[in-house]
């Protein structure tokens, strides 16, 4: 199973500059690894229509249970949210914290 190379921070730069793609094959591989995590704890976003923001959330461990909202983590755009989640996942996989 492929691991994410902590030295490949240029891929993180590429993602940050263009979260919705198209992505280089190497970045796509990183994203596939990140997005392939198990359901429990997986990040997603909640659209708060009233405030017009996106709230960070996580899927529960048990199917059909309430999701976990992080109301202190809100974003004006999905691009900003994608970058924050990318950094969280990068740290989970490599142990390193990305700048920015």
By CB under 8 A, name the binding residues for another protein: 19-26, 28-29, 31-32, 35-36, 38-39, 42-47, 49, 54, 57, 59, 63-67, 78, 81-82, 85
- 17 in helix, strand or coil? helix
Q: Which is nearer to another protein, 28 or 97 (CB)?
A: 28
Backbone angles phi, psi at 70, to 5 degrees: -115, 85
Q: Which helix (H) or strand (E) holds 74?
A: strand 68-75
* Cα–Cα distance for residue pair 77/88, rounded to 1 Å: 17
Q: Which is nearer to another protein, 25 or 95 (CB)?
A: 25
CB of 64 to another protein, least distance (A): 5
CB of 37 to another protein, least distance (A): 8
CB of 46 to another protein, least distance (A): 5
How buried is 13 (Cβ within 10 angstroms: 0-12 exposed, 13-18 middle, 19+ buried)? middle
């Amino acid at each position: 199973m492929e691991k994410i190379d902590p030295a490949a921070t240029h891929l993180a730069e590429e993602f940050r500059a263009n979260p919705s793609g198209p992505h280089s094959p190497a970045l796509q591989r990183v994203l596939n690894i990140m997005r392939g995590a198990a359901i429990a704890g997986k990040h997603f976003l909640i659209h708060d229509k009233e405030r017009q923001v996106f709230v960070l959330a996580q899927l529960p461990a048990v199917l059909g249970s309430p999701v976990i909202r992080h109301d202190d983590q809100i974003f004006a755009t999905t691009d900003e949210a994608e970058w924050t989640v990318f950094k969280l996942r990068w740290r989970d996989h490599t142990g390193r914290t990305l700048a920015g």
